[in-house]
Chain A
Amino acid sequence: MKKMQISNIVIPLRLFLFLLVSIFMAEFLIMLFLDYVRIPSKLANSLLDSTLLVVILYPILYKFVFRNMMITLKGRKYLNERLSKINEELEAKIRVRTSNLVSTNQELQEAILGCRQTETNLEKAYLQLKETQNQLIQSEKLSAIGQLASGVAHEVRNPLSIILQGVEYLEIKIPPKETPAREALSMIKDSVKRADKIISLLFDFSKAARLNLMPEDINSILESSINLVETKVKFMNIDIVKETKKDIPKTMIDKNRMEQVFINLLLNAIQAMPEGGKVIIRTYEKRLEAPANRVGERKEDYFKVGEKAVIVEIEDTGTGIPEENLNKIFDPFFTTKGIGGGTGLGLSVSQSIIIMHKGLIDVTSQLGKGTRITVTLHAIE
């Protein structure tokens, strides 16, 4: 290592000494030569001296200064060009990498969006599953009640028959002037009728399987249901507003069963408005769009996406249903009407009839503002 360093210095040093000696020799010879020529003028002597010095120094200056300078400049230029070329190449590479990064980034973002979508879909599916589970539990409950009802009804109706016949026997035996006793008898008779009505409603569950399906116009069924309840609202300060759409498609339904549903819903609406108010009855047709509860391609779905449906809405401006009761209102025997006010079977029977038609019944309610029941049925296309 040391040797190499020494030899690196020695060569230029020798060269440098050689140059000095050469210049010294040349100048020395020139000076001798000038003395020899003996030029009288001081000016001419100086000119000649300078010219000869330039002639001697020219090749040395050219070889060791100018040429090296040129080489250095050329080298610098070449290096600059090369550098900018490399720069460009680098920039191009960076551009490619950057665009790759951008597209990868985009892909990633799309993937994130996809993940989010999947997440919401999953959430939706979960909610639907829960809903289906609830409905399954509900229909299990209904069929159990149906079986029970049919068994119990016969056993209960026999003693009811005896009571009724017994009361009618006593009506013969107790003279009309015995007013309190006669009143007691009519109270017993009323109770028998009430008990029998409950049994009839229970029977509606067990009769679930039998439907007499015909193409029917929902508006005319609503009309006859309204006629039946209209007498009830005559003195009640209740307006019945019809917003029914004419010429909607017919639906395959059991007319009597559906009438029973609408009467139930109308009576509920009326009972929710003790201070009076408005019952709005709406019908319209609608294509079912996004998959929703019971709308989709699954086996257990009632409606297909894109299917045409007939919608019936019955809306009241009544007291509304508290949120904690909303998911109970279709439960058999759930009632808020108090003893003697209701059996708690009306809505539950209505729901089972709608389910039998593979239709939907939904409720939305706002406390103090009112309740809306929406029934969705298959349209005949």
Chain B
Amino acid sequence: MKILIVDDEKNFVYFVKENLAHRGYPVDVAYDGKEALELIQSKSYDLVFLDINMPELTGLELAKYVKENKIKSKVIIVTGYEEIKESLAKVLGADEYLTKPVAIADIEKIIKKYGG
């Protein structure tokens, strides 16, 4: 299963990557929207975890891009904004949402849900 984690909080990304690797899920990482877009275009990920507030391209714009271009990746919005839950995430085409602070178990649950 190919997984991409996108967040401009480098420390967060570092710990998530380490923790998932320990549970047997190697992941790719990106620290801004532009970098993430290049990766999404070049590799076909099964799951993309997206932060919303990022330089260059926001997570919501990326999610919209993925859906509009019929890329098969599942998009998971990971954010501290609670309102996103009910409205924006779904409307803009995210498949799942997670509210920060996320535990590694929450991420694993979603990976397992999509067959990881």
Contacts and interface: CB of A to CB of B under 8 A. Distances in A.
A165 B107 CA distance: 11
B81 to A, nearest CB: 5
Nearest to A152: B80
A131 B1 CA distance: 61
Contacts of B80: 153-158, 161
A291 B98 CA distance: 48
B100 A157 contact: yes
B9 A161 contact: yes
A160 B82 contact: no
B19 A168 contact: yes
Contact of B102 (A154, A164, A207): A164
B101 A161 contact: yes
Given A158-B12, A169-B18, A172-B22, A164 B83 contact: no
Contacts of B15: 162, 165-166, 168-169
Given A169-B15, A169-B18, A172-B19, A154 B81 contact: yes
B16 interface: yes
Given A154-B53, A203-B82, A206-B83, A162 B9 contact: yes
B11 to A, nearest CB: 5
Contacts of B18: 169, 172
B71 interface: no
- Residue from B16, B79, B80 whose CB has the most chain A CB atoms within 10 Å: B80
Interface string B68-102: 00000000000111110000000000000001111
A120 interface: no
A160 B99 CA distance: 11
Q: Tell me what chain A mostly uses at the interface: helix, strand, loop, or mixed.
A: helix
Nearest to B22: A172
Interface string A185-216: 00000001000100010010011000000000
Contact of A192 (B9, B83, B101): B101
Contacts of A162: 9, 11-12, 15
B82 A164 contact: no
Contacts of B82: 153, 200, 203, 207
Contacts of A161: 9, 12, 80, 100-102
B31 to A, nearest CB: 13
A269 B116 CA distance: 46
A234 to B, nearest CB: 29
A380 interface: no
Nearest to A210: B86
B19 A157 contact: no
Contacts of B53: 154
A235 to B, nearest CB: 30
Nearest to B84: A154
A164 B80 CA distance: 14
A161 B9 CA distance: 10
B20 to A, nearest CB: 10
A150 interface: yes
Given A165-B19, A169-B19, A150 B83 contact: yes
Nearest to B52: A154
A300 B76 CA distance: 44
Nearest to B81: A154
Contact of A153 (B11, B12, B81, B104): B81
* Best-buried of A150, A153, A158, A161 by chain B (most CB within 10 Å): A161
A65 interface: no
A151 to B, nearest CB: 10
B81 A165 contact: no
A381 B22 CA distance: 61
Contacts of A160: 100-101
Given A154-B80, A165-B16, A172-B22, 18 more contacts: A150-B83, A156-B80, A157-B100, A157-B101, A161-B12, A161-B80, A161-B102, A162-B11, A163-B101, A164-B103, A166-B11, A168-B19, A169-B18, A169-B19, A172-B18, A172-B19, A203-B83, A207-B82
18 contacts: A150-B83, A153-B80, A153-B82, A154-B80, A154-B81, A156-B80, A157-B100, A157-B101, A160-B101, A161-B9, A161-B101, A162-B9, A164-B102, A165-B12, A168-B104, A172-B18, A192-B101, A203-B83
- Nearest first, the 9 closest Cβ-Cβ pairs linking A and B are A157-B80, A165-B15, A154-B80, A160-B101, A157-B100, A161-B101, A164-B101, A161-B100, A203-B82
Interface of B: 9, 11-12, 15-16, 18-19, 22, 53, 79-83, 99-104
